[in-house]
Amino acid sequence: MFKKFTEKLKASLAKTKEKILGGLKAVMPFGRALDQDTIDQMEEYLYSADIGPATVQKIVDEVQSAYKDKRIRTTDECFAFLKETLKAIMADSRPGLRRASEGPTVILVAGVNGSGKTTSIAKLTQLLSRDGKKVVLGAADTFRAAAVEQLSIWADRLGAQIVKKGQNADPASVAFDACDAARARAADYVIIDTAGRLHTQKNLMQELEKIKRVISQKIEGGPHEVLLILDANNGQNAIEQARRFTEAIDVTGLFLTKLDGTAKGGAVIGIRHEIAVPVKFIGVGEKAEDIEEFDPDSFVEALFS
Ligand SMILES: Nc1nc2c(ncn2[C@@H]2O[C@H](COP(=O)(O)OP(=O)(O)O)[C@@H](O)[C@H]2O)c(=O)[nH]1
Ligand SMILES: [Mg+2]
């Protein structure tokens, strides 16, 4: 269903690769004997690469012990070791979307303003439609008329059904109707768009809980996925945002957007290490096809290729 290590992934990670691999090569040139001073410089550099201090510490601890045990003696061996360490840190056995055992699978999408929620919904819709799945969209971001309009345009373009109401309609009632429509039309997926919110906005977080409750009353086990959309441009702050949001509501998956435009993609490493929720997808552009299922090995290979 999904593509793995693609040229597009490589191209979209170019800036992050330049930051991480480019910077590491400068402090740790290939073809040298490894020494403590080089490891210290490597550590210092990694702190500037948006990976997050706790994760850098973990990486450096591994390198340090491999160096002491003489498992790595050269900078080339250190690069190879780093690659394997990153893969191990980011390893995940839960790829792909959860599915309902029967009936429509409901995906609720949340995140702060402008993180890429609506665009990411379009990407998921295209991915699922291409796989022959029938998708119903729920325009539950009723806060701005433009938000409903934006999702409608995507729905038209992608040939998906959309359920919408007027501006300021109760988002939970839109979700309710979208679930009804999905049942009536025997759809495979319902994807609910929501207005942007911060984890600190108590009333808006309660609204999200209400949407979840209404969905669960309509469709058993729903929502099957609560996807948190995070803008990779936020770097280390994206790690913090993921932490706060996952503490506030029951998030089941992360979708990291805008990796194509940022050098701060190192945040993905910290998020995988520090957040218990899996990264399911990454966004690598503004078009509907600019989505990749997240695969740690491919990600690391693309960074070190
Ligand atoms: N370059 C790039 N831009 C993106 C990506 N995802 C979303 N965007 C852009 O980010 C902006 C906000 O996206 P939108 O989906 O409206 O965010 P929302 O407010 O969370 O619904 C738009 O201009 C999108 O085109 C991505 O993966 N890469
Ligand atoms: Mg939106």
pLDDT band at 2, cuts 50/70/90?
Answer: very low
SS3 letters across 228-296: EEEEHHHCHHHHHHHHHHHHHCCCCEEEEECHHHCCCCCHHHHHHHHCCCCEEEEECCCCCCCEEECCH
Ligand with an atom nearest the CA of residue 121:
1
* Residue 19 alpha carbon to ligand 1 centre in Å: 23
Residue 4 has pLDDT above 70, yes or no: no
User: pLDDT per residue over 190-225, tens digit each?
Assistant: 999 999 999 999 999 999 999 999 999 999 999 999
* Angstrom distance (rounded) from CA 155 to CA 167: 18
User: pLDDT per residue over 180-189, tens digit each?
Assistant: 999 999 999 9
What DSSP assignment string belongs to 23-43?
HHHHHS-TTSB--HHHHHHHH
* Residue 142 alpha carbon to ligand 2 centre in Å: 10
| Ligand 1 atom nearest to 113, measured from its CA | 19
* Residue 121 alpha carbon to ligand 2 centre in Å: 9
Which residues are in the CB-under-5-Å shell of ion ligand 2?
Answer: 117-118, 147
Q: Note whether 302 and 13 are within 8 A (CB).
A: yes
| Ligand 1 atom nearest to 141, measured from its CA | 21
Ligand with an atom nearest the CA of residue 110:
1
Q: Note whether 35 and 29 are within 8 A (CB).
A: no
Q: How much is the average pLDDT of 291-305?
A: 94
Ligand with an atom nearest the CA of residue 255:
1
Q: pLDDT at position 95, please? A: 73
Q: Note whether 293 and 95 are within 8 A (CB).
A: yes
Q: How much is the average pLDDT of 18-37?
A: 97
Q: pLDDT at position 165, please? A: 96
Strand order in the sheet with 279-283: 161-163, 135-140, 189-194, 105-111, 225-231, 253-257, 279-283, 291-293
Using the Cα atoms of residue 240, residue 93, residue 190 and residue 4 in order, give the sign of their dihedral. Answer: positive
| Among 288, 252, 278, CA closest to 129 | 288
* Residue 90 alpha carbon to ligand 1 centre in Å: 25
* Angstrom distance (rounded) from CA 259 to CA 232: 6
Q: How much is the average pLDDT of 137-162?
A: 97
* Residue 140 alpha carbon to ligand 2 centre in Å: 10
Mean pLDDT in the chain?
95
| Ligand 1 atom nearest to 111, measured from its CA | 20
Q: Does residue 89 or residue 8 have the better pLDDT?
A: 89
Q: Note whether 128 and 189 are within 8 A (CB).
A: yes
50: tokens are 């948006």
Strand, coil or helix: 144: coil
User: pLDDT per residue over 80-121, tens digit each?
Assistant: 999 999 999 999 877 789 999 999 999 999 999 999 999 999
* Residue 116 alpha carbon to ligand 1 centre in Å: 4
Ligand with an atom nearest the CA of residue 229:
1
Q: Which domains are present in the chain? A: 7-90 (1.20.120.140), 105-295 (3.40.50.300)
Contact residues of ligand 1, CB 6 A cut-off = 111, 113-119, 196, 229, 257-258, 260-261, 283-286, 290
Residue 299 has pLDDT above 50, yes or no: yes
| Ligand 1 atom nearest to 261, measured from its CA | 1
Q: How far is CA 249 from CA 197, 199, 225, 243, 267, in A?
A: 12, 9, 12, 10, 21
75-90 and 53-68 helices, crossing angle to 10°: 130
* Angstrom distance (rounded) from CA 285 to CA 259: 8
Q: How much is the average pLDDT of 279-301?
A: 96
Q: pLDDT at position 5, please? A: 58
- Identify which of 254, 256, 260, 286 to mutate to test ligand 1's pocket (most ligand atoms within 8 A of the CB): 286
* Angstrom distance (rounded) from CA 1 to CA 21: 30
Q: Does residue 5 or residue 87 have the better pLDDT?
A: 87
Q: Note whether 268 and 299 are within 8 A (CB).
A: yes
Which residues, listed in sequence order, are joined to residue 228 by a DSSP beta bridge? 110, 254
Q: Structure pTM?
A: 0.96
